[in-house]
Chain A
Amino acid sequence: MVQRILVVEDDPLLAESLVRALQQQGYRIGHARRGHDADSLLQAHRFDLLLLDIGLPDIDGFELLRRLRARGDATPVLVVTAREAVDERVHGLDLGADDYLTKPFSLSELEARVRALLRRARPAPAARIVVGGLTVESDAHSAKIGGKHVDLTAREWALLELFLARPGHALSKVTIAKTISDSDAGVAPNTVEVYVSRLRAKLEPAGIVIRTVRGFGYLWEQPLA
């Protein structure tokens, strides 16, 4: 099913670019220039993602977001702002935004954030992710390289999903440890190394590179497509 994204942006050039860029990715796009229009569209239709500019001519993006969440609408929201990231991020995240992008941003950054949000919001039942020689089917807990099943432990699987959810982003050992630990038994940041090197070894045949970032953690390098 085609995913629907509502782009709320009043600048004609940026709006056109956003619509075009996302259409090229195969999404169906709705567009609103004003907050009120966006509000009515959101009430009339269901969208999989809201791409929301904060500086709108009538009601600002924060107000729109507040109304959306007040209605109990959990549509993922990616805030796009020309203002300072930190302040608005805090405000936006308080109001229930899921992620934010500060203008200007690159096309690939936009695509990655949108993809990640859509995936996070709705782990698509038929989600099939292909990275290099690796094919991952989340729901089936299956990872294959060249049609051959890769045997992963629960923690390695959690680690793989974490990397796939944040492509191109460096993950700190602390973040990794928090994510892959079971609720009771914590994972020491040092043992993360063990899991990562095991996963790395298992995925290497697929041409996947998990880089070590000195004193920080790991980076899943996006293979050149």
Chain B
Amino acid sequence: MPDHSEAGSIQARLLRVLMVSLVALLLLCAGVTWFVAFRVANDAYDHGLLDPMMDIVQNVREGPLGPSLALSPREQEALLFDGSDRVFFGIRDARGRWFGGGAHDIPRPSGGLSPRKPQFYSATVNDADVRIAAMATDAGFEVYVAETTNKRDRLVWEVILTGLVPSLLVVVAAVALVWFGVSHGLSPLRRLHDELAQRSPNDLRDVDLSHAPAEVRPAIVALNRLLLRVRETSEAQRRFLADAAHQLRTPLAGLQMQLELELRASTSSSLRATLAKMRDAVLRTGNFTNRLLALARAEQSAPPAPDDSPVDLRELAERIGAQWIAPALDRGIDLGFDLSPATVHGDPLLLADMLQNLIDNAVRYTASGGAITVGSGEDAGGAWLAVEDNGVGIPASDRARVFERFYRGAAAGGDGCGLGLAIVKEGAERHRASVTIDDAPGGRGTLVCVRFPASSKLSSPALLDAYAAA
């Protein structure tokens, strides 16, 4: 199905919506996870800062030489040792002077410090993120212990990764599942498309609802309603054409009989000639009416249906052909038969029309002294009907065009109406049969063969029985 509609494909749309929402959800999830992980990491490691800070708090003295830290460098080193982070401290006396430790540029909390109540906060020192524990002593000193955030960052990342990697996998899996799910879910639509694409324009039967999922059902119901309307319209047209043709038949019958009666009674040769011409015109009109009817029938009939009755082509050829034996003899044509059993499933009326027109054509274009053979048979390729003549033949260049309506070959010159082979073609399409025109095997004349698909007989119980018996 080409996607040039604005709506695009349902699959792409679904996937787009799904991807956007999943990614947004994932980002939100990551944010929350990060926040939680950050809190968890700080809670876990802030305690570790409390110990060195309390040690320092307890060892700050106001001595005679000013404030001092009663911890040896070794003790300080041991106190501040950490496997993964750099820990440093600074002390500030009541007058705001820094001493002890190395860090005298640790940012102070905006709200100030309270004695005996440790405070934790994050800050940046020398472009490095640090976590700071700070507390004021009773003596008015402020102790700051800062630690880089390596292990906290690691923990945060670990938490985020353990949380997000499975989520990510879930997202990928969800997209894949939706992709396949939608493909699978849309297969009824594809089937519907295939069914509609394969239909012939004449096939206006309802689309089968039985396998349609609930979502597609309303569309199919609407389509069927449309098909019903089209069917009714085309049925009305067909009926109109058929009624018109039928209505013509009665006055034509009256005219023909009147003319024949007068022709029989009249003794004037000039009047007889006129009457004969009129009668011939009426005959042609009658034939034309019949062909219009046949064409309407061929156009409007449904394609092969399972309930099509089996038609015995041999019997059909005998019945239709028999009607032509006397007219052919009148024209000095030897009409013969070469019939083998053959069965197709189809519309008997239409098949009769087809054969009628094939023989009519052959008789029309075969000269006196010629021969026509009507054949039927069935082989592995399917059943066939053929009409062979040794008449004027159809030039190869004309063969494609003779099926067009009202086309009459240059060589034809007969009094045909130009609908005969169009009826044959429409009828053949209706039965999914092919029509071929070849030179007759004798080298002179035409061989027209209608070949029915082998499948059209597969549903025949008789044949299935025959296969079973074989």
Minimum CB–CB distance for A7 against chain B, Å: 12
Task: In the complex, identify which listed stretch (A32-40, A64-72, A136-144, A212-220) lies at the interface while the others stay far away.
Answer: A212-220
Checking A17, A84, A219 against B258 with a beta-carbon cut-off of 8 angstroms, the contacting residue is A17
Question: In the complex, which residues 133-160 of chain A have their Cβ closer than 8 Å to any Cβ of chain B?
Answer: none
Complex CA distance for A166 and B256, rounded to whole angstroms? 23
> A106 touching B256 by the CB < 8 A rule?
yes
Checking A12, A103, A216 against B253 with a beta-carbon cut-off of 8 angstroms, the contacting residue is A103
> A215 touching B260 by the CB < 8 A rule?
no
| B257 CB contacts on chain A under 8 angstroms | 14, 17-18, 21, 104, 107, 110
Query: Which residue of the partner chain A has the closest CB to B250?
Result: A11
A169, CB-defined interface residue at 8 Å: yes
| B293 CB contacts on chain A under 8 angstroms | 84
Q: With A82-B246, A216-B336 in contact, do A104 and B325 touch (Cβ < 8 Å)? A: no
Bits for B306-330, please: 1 = Cβ < 8 Å to A, else 0. 0000000000001001100110010
Checking B256, B321, B329, B337 against A211 with a beta-carbon cut-off of 8 angstroms, the contacting residue is B329
> B258 touching A216 by the CB < 8 A rule?
no
> A11 touching B337 by the CB < 8 A rule?
no
Bits for A95-115, please: 1 = Cβ < 8 Å to B, else 0. 000000011111100100000
| B318 CB contacts on chain A under 8 angstroms | 172, 216
Checking B250, B258, B260, B349 against A103 with a beta-carbon cut-off of 8 angstroms, the contacting residue is B250
Complex CA distance for A155 and B264, rounded to whole angstroms? 38
A86, CB-defined interface residue at 8 Å: yes
Complex CA distance for A214 and B374, rounded to whole angstroms? 10
Question: In the complex, which residues 176-225 of chain A have their Cβ closer than 8 Å to any Cβ of chain B?
Answer: 211, 213-216, 219, 221
B100, CB-defined interface residue at 8 Å: no
B338, CB-defined interface residue at 8 Å: yes
B254, CB-defined interface residue at 8 Å: yes
Checking B249, B264, B349 against A104 with a beta-carbon cut-off of 8 angstroms, the contacting residue is B249
| B241 CB contacts on chain A under 8 angstroms | none
> A214 touching B251 by the CB < 8 A rule?
no
> A83 touching B246 by the CB < 8 A rule?
yes
> B322 touching A13 by the CB < 8 A rule?
no
Minimum CB–CB distance for A213 against chain B, Å: 5
B130, CB-defined interface residue at 8 Å: no
Checking B247, B260, B283, B337 against A214 with a beta-carbon cut-off of 8 angstroms, the contacting residue is B337
B282, CB-defined interface residue at 8 Å: yes
Query: Which residue of the partner chain A has the closest CB to B334?
Result: A214
Q: With A86-B348, A214-B336, A215-B339 in contact, do A24 and B261 touch (Cβ < 8 Å)? A: yes
Minimum CB–CB distance for B442 against chain A, Å: 15
| B392 CB contacts on chain A under 8 angstroms | none
| B339 CB contacts on chain A under 8 angstroms | 215-216
| B255 CB contacts on chain A under 8 angstroms | 13, 104
Query: Which residue of the partner chain B has the closest CB to A167?
Result: B326
| A104 CB contacts on chain B under 8 angstroms | 249, 252-253, 255-257, 282-283, 286
Q: With A24-B261, A86-B348, A215-B373 in contact, do A103 and B252 touch (Cβ < 8 Å)? A: yes
> A219 touching B246 by the CB < 8 A rule?
no
A94, CB-defined interface residue at 8 Å: no
> A170 touching B258 by the CB < 8 A rule?
no
> A21 touching B261 by the CB < 8 A rule?
yes
Minimum CB–CB distance for A20 against chain B, Å: 6
Question: In the complex, which residues 30-81 of chain A have their Cβ closer than 8 Å to any Cβ of chain B?
Answer: 55, 80
| A211 CB contacts on chain B under 8 angstroms | 329
Minimum CB–CB distance for A29 against chain B, Å: 14
> B349 touching A213 by the CB < 8 A rule?
no
> A17 touching B250 by the CB < 8 A rule?
no
Complex CA distance for A24 and B258, rounded to whole angstroms? 13
Minimum CB–CB distance for A217 against chain B, Å: 8
A168, CB-defined interface residue at 8 Å: yes
| A55 CB contacts on chain B under 8 angstroms | 246, 250
Q: With A103-B249, A172-B322 in contact, do A17 and B335 touch (Cβ < 8 Å)? A: no
Question: In the complex, which residues 8-26 of chain A have their Cβ closer than 8 Å to any Cβ of chain B?
Answer: 11-18, 20-21, 24
Checking B261, B336, B349 against A17 with a beta-carbon cut-off of 8 angstroms, the contacting residue is B261
Query: Which residue of the partner chain A has the closest CB to B264?
Result: A107
Query: Which residue of the partner chain A has the closest CB to B322?
Result: A170
B449, CB-defined interface residue at 8 Å: no
B352, CB-defined interface residue at 8 Å: yes
Minimum CB–CB distance for A108 against chain B, Å: 8
Minimum CB–CB distance for A160 against chain B, Å: 19
Minimum CB–CB distance for A148 against chain B, Å: 29
Complex CA distance for A168 and B260, rounded to whole angstroms? 19
Minimum CB–CB distance for B283 against chain A, Å: 8
Question: In the complex, which residues 79-135 of chain B have their Cβ closer than 8 Å to any Cβ of chain A?
Answer: none
Complex CA distance for A214 and B337, rounded to whole angstroms? 6
| A87 CB contacts on chain B under 8 angstroms | 349
> B329 touching A221 by the CB < 8 A rule?
yes
Query: Which residue of the partner chain A has the closest CB to B265?
Result: A24
Query: Which residue of the partner chain B has the closest CB to A108?
Result: B260
Query: Which residue of the partner chain B has the closest CB to A87?
Result: B349
Q: With A14-B254, A104-B252, A172-B318 in contact, do A213 and B352 touch (Cβ < 8 Å)? A: no
Minimum CB–CB distance for B457 against chain A, Å: 21
| A24 CB contacts on chain B under 8 angstroms | 261
Complex CA distance for A103 and B246, rounded to whole angstroms? 9
Minimum CB–CB distance for A38 against chain B, Å: 17
> A170 touching B349 by the CB < 8 A rule?
no
Query: Which residue of the partner chain A has the closest CB to B245?
Result: A82
Checking B252, B260, B337 against A216 with a beta-carbon cut-off of 8 angstroms, the contacting residue is B337
Complex CA distance for A106 and B318, rounded to whole angstroms? 22
Task: Using A11-B250, A214-B337, A219-B329 as known contacts, list a sample of 9 further A-B pairs with CB atoms less than 8 Å apart, ordered by residue number in A.
Answer: A14-B257, A17-B258, A21-B257, A82-B246, A106-B260, A110-B257, A172-B322, A215-B338, A219-B325
**Nearest 8 Cβ contacts at the A-B interface:** A214-B336, A13-B254, A215-B337, A17-B257, A14-B254, A104-B253, A103-B253, A170-B325
A contact residues vs B (CB 8 Å cutoff)? 11-18, 20-21, 24, 55, 80, 82-84, 86-87, 102-107, 110, 168-170, 172, 211, 213-216, 219, 221
Q: List 18 A-B contacts (CB under 8 A).
A: A11-B254, A14-B250, A14-B254, A16-B254, A17-B257, A17-B258, A102-B249, A103-B249, A103-B250, A104-B249, A104-B255, A107-B264, A168-B326, A169-B326, A214-B373, A215-B336, A216-B322, A219-B326
